Structure 1
Amino acid sequence: MKFIEIKENKKSYLDLLLLADEQEDMIDRYLDRGKMYVINDDGVKCECVVTDEENGVLEIKNLATNPKYQGEGYAKAMIDFICQKYRHNYSILQVGTGDSPLTVPFYEKCGFIRSHVVANFFTDNYDHPIYEAGVQLVDMVYLRREI
């Protein structure tokens, strides 16, 4: 398993990015200012984009695993890599996600705790309803963990 920083042509990973954030103009808001990493394990299995949110906070803006390889530990390995890489520069790793029965428990298993909620984030910022596990996402839930 090899972790690679992607510095150019980040949009060439758009299919994977759209798994975590299904509206391209939302991805465009953070992709250029973020650091992007992929896991290559006989092909790209997972990607992550993180941004500096200041005051010692690093944010996961996009984390996605190729559906064929979900459940095999790639996203957890990516989070562990990000924490190890940035532990001297940041004190908090945070993520904003929909209040989904799939996503929130995953982050909680990775050591994140709920921080705050941005009400109506998905209905106010996306041009179509967003669904995950049959649930319409409305609010953005922020979770945090110490690095």
Structure 2
Amino acid sequence: MIIRELKPVEKLPLSLLLEADPSEEMIRSYAAEGDVFIAEKNSCVAGVCVLLPLTDETVEIKNIAVAEPARGKGVAKALISHAVTIAGQCGFSIVEIGTGNSSLDQLALYQKCGFRMKSIDRDFFVRNYPEPIIENGIQCRDMVRLELTL
């Protein structure tokens, strides 16, 4: 597997990004402002993440998604590790990531990767998405924010 930055002439892997964020408008906005990285296996996109600077010190992993056939094979961990490495090389001291209160697997993964819970933005998904999001039988209402200090 290789992880590389998506070239400006390459098409955004929108269908994959939509698996992690149902708003095409929001995805296009932060992807245009951030850096998009793809994980490739056998010339196929296995995963994607978007790294977006927030301040001079802080960068956010804004979206991370892994294609169904590649799930459970370490692709997400590799993308997170790559994003953290890039963040450090670029001089950032904090990496943030956010996920829904109903994203139980993601909450576990991020903590296994060293992230610690920072805050909860109550009703974030209710305010920002027109349709309810249901995951693991739970309505996704709140954004759980986590951070990793480099």
CA RMSD of the aligned region, Å?
1.3
Which of 134, 137, 144 pairs up with 1:134? 137
Contact kept in structure 1, 2:61 and 2:83, CA below 8 Å: no
Deviates more, 1:31-40 or 1:93-102: 93-102
Equivalences for residues 1-147 of structure 1 within 5 A: 1-8=1-8, 12-42=12-42, 43-88=44-89, 89-99=91-101, 100-147=103-150
Contact kept in structure 2, 1:17 and 1:64, CA below 8 Å: yes
Instruction: State the TM-score, normalized to the length of structure 1.
Output: 0.94
Q: Which residues of structure 1 form unaligned runs of 5+?
A: none
Percent of aligned pairs sharing the same letter: 36
Query: Match of 1:29, SS?
Result: helix
Q: What number of residue pairs does the alignment pair up? A: 147
Q: Which residues of structure 2 form unaligned runs of 5+?
A: none
Structure 2: distance between partners of 1:130 and 1:9? 32
Contact kept in structure 2, 1:45 and 1:65, CA below 8 Å: yes
Instruction: State the TM-score, normalized to the length of structure 2.
Output: 0.92
Distance verdict in 2 for CA 1:66–1:127, change over 3 Å: same
